[in-house]
Amino acid sequence: MSLNNEFKPKIVAFCCNWCSYAGADLAGSSRLAYPADVKIIRVPCSCRVNPMFILRAFEKGADGVIMCGCHPGDCHYSTGNYYARRRMTLLFSMLDYLGIERARTRVEWVSAAEGVKFSQTMNEFVEDIRKLGKNVRLEDLRCRN
Amino acid sequence: MQELVNRAKALLADGTVARVLGWKAGEFAYDPEPAFFETEEDLKDFVYDGFCGANLSKYMIEASKLEGKTLVFLKPCDSYSFNQLTKEHRVDREKAYIIGVGCKGKVDVKHIKEAGIKGIESIVGADYPNPAETLEIKTLYGDKTISYKDAMLERCHVCKGKDHVVFDEQIGESADTVDAERFAEVEKIEAMSPEEKFAFFRAELSKCIRCNACRNVCPACSCRKCVFDSTKFDSAQKANTTSFEEKMFHIIRAFHVAGRCTDCGECSRVCPQGIPLHLFNRKFIKDINTFYGDYQAGEDIEAQAPLTDFTFEDREPGQFAERG
């Protein structure tokens, strides 16, 4: 297989400002590698992630979406990630119900000190998505032939 | 039915209520519609029969802003919606005089037409309180029959119960109509492969014409401004911008009512394209029940809604749900 034909997944990562984004920063400054396929979007808190963000990401062609936040109990806003956890549990279950494999969505808790965990998680996640291949598009049948 | 009209007349006459919210006869026997009645004279159009499936709770939002009390007729399942709206401070309990009416299952002309009966002229047998076992239908092509059960709305097959959760007085008897498992359909889809699920939902949702009927009828969808409204125009409609819009509309709509949906089934009843929209809501209800304990929206006004609550031991989103 030539290099050009290799499947390059598009991965969107929502990272909370206080833990995971700092964790990604640490991964960078510690020179730990993670795939360039991951596009990080910084959010104030994992709780800021509206279910619509995830759907929009899939609409725009994402093959996988991962949400990272502070460990439960460590949220900068005390309880944000607990609400986010319930929401994402339900949303991901719904996406699975609609035919988007469960492995394409993921939630991981990464603290500001866990640069290693961040890079490991991203490597794993990208590997999983590579195996799954291109995502299905939740599109309207009428717009297709 | 006459009992309801008499009681409404009495309450109008003694000034307890300023208006009555009920159902009035439509153009055909099978399409009664929600209506306000201001005088005793108006009540001659009042109907209550097997076709009165419409949930009147949502109309109480507007009625709560009017002067005086409104008499509203609620079926057992409608009373859950009313309770949920009270909890969300969308309706004023003080402004409502609730008569809990009995219900023996509601039929819908959609199911009669699905059974291949066309050219309907009249339907006999959907009366309350004594519906017939079989509906007799006069059509352009001769007389047809269909059993009452077959013509019944999906929600009646999985009825929540015969008891009103909120009422001022009750009139009429209810019947037990349950003959199906509430989550059976959801479980059937859950057992499919991702490709099958995807094909199923893509086919169903591709029928959507974005008429917004499901949103407009939904008692839980009562925001003054909806995320799906156009920000530029004062219109309820928003043209779809991408081929993804309808899918997103239904997923997000179901998500916005998750934990608040009482499973009244109005969305599926009004859908002109026959999309089984209750399957989305019911999936969320099933998940909430499995993950966070049984919860019936609208049952208890004091209960904490599952999505505005959490425990330290909640399951992680990565944990797969047990199948079946």
Q: Pick the residue from chain A with its C-alpha nearest to B306.
A: A86
pLDDT score recorded for residue B211: 84
Instruction: Specify the pLDDT at position B210.
Output: 82
Residue corresponding to tokens 């889809």: B189
Q: Provide the 10 A C-beta neighbour count for residue B32.
A: 22
Preferred mutation among A67, A102, A139 to probe B, highest tally of B CBs within 10 A: A139
Element (H, E) at A92: helix A80-97
Measured in residues, chain B has a length of 324
State the average pLDDT over residues A139-144.
61
Among B100, B79, B103, B99, CA closest to B91: B79
In a domain, B72, yes or no: no
pLDDT tens for each residue of B177-230: 899 999 999 999 999 999 999 999 988 988 888 888 999 999 999 888 888 877
Cα–Cα distance between B280 and B205 in angstroms, integer? Answer: 11
Are B312 and A72 in contact (CB < 8 Å)?
yes
- Please state whether the peptide bond connecting residue B129 to the residue before it is cis, i.e. omega within 30 degrees of 0: yes
Chain B residues within 8 A of A141 when measuring between CB atoms: 202-203, 206
Note the pTM of the prediction, 2 decimals: 0.91
B175 within domain boundaries = no
Number of domains in chain B: 1
Q: Which residues of B touch A52 (CB under 8 A)?
A: 227, 248, 252
Q: What is the pLDDT of residue B219?
A: 94
B201/A99 Cβ within 8 A: yes
How far B206 CA sits from the closest chain A CA (Å)? 5
Nearest residue of A to residue B285, measured between CA atoms: A90
Closest by Cα among A38, A16, A35, A25 to A113: A25
Q: What are phi and psi of A83, to 5 degrees?
A: -65, -45
Closest A-chain CA to B286: A90
B202:A141 CB<8 A:
yes
A28 vs B242: which has the higher pLDDT: A28
What is the number of alpha carbons within 13 Å of residue B192 lying toward its C-beta? 18
Assigned architecture for domain A7-129: 3-Layer(aba) Sandwich (3.40)
Residue B227 belongs to domain spanning: 181-324
Cβ(B108)–Cβ(B149) below 8 Å: no
pLDDT in tens, A63-118: 999 999 999 999 999 999 999 999 999 999 999 999 888 889 999 999 999 999 99
Measured distance CA(A87)–CA(A90) in Å, rounded: 5
Q: What was the pLDDT predicted at A59?
A: 85
Q: Are B292 and B322 in contact (CB under 8 A)?
A: no
A72 touches chain B (CB under 8 A): yes
- Whether A145 has its CB under 8 Å from any CB of chain B: the answer is no
Alpha carbons A107 and B183: distance in angstroms, whole number? 27
pLDDT of residue B208: 87
* Residues of chain B with confidence (pLDDT) below 70: 233-242, 319-324
Alpha helices in B40-162 (DSSP H): 59-63, 76-87, 109-114, 154-157
B20 within a domain of the structure (yes/no) = no
pLDDT at B233: 67
Q: Which ipTM did the prediction report?
A: 0.89
Q: Is residue B34 part of a domain?
A: no
Average pLDDT of span A14-22: 96
Task: Kindly state whether residue B258 falls inside one of the protein's structural domains.
Answer: yes
Judging contacts by C-beta atoms under 8 Å, the chain B residues touching residue A145 are none
Closest CA to B96 of B88, B87, B104, B86: B86
Do B104 and B129 form a contact (C-beta atoms < 8 A)? yes
Chain B residues with CB under 8 Å of A125 CB are none
- Looking at residue B322, what is its pLDDT? 45
Judge whether B90 lies within some domain: no
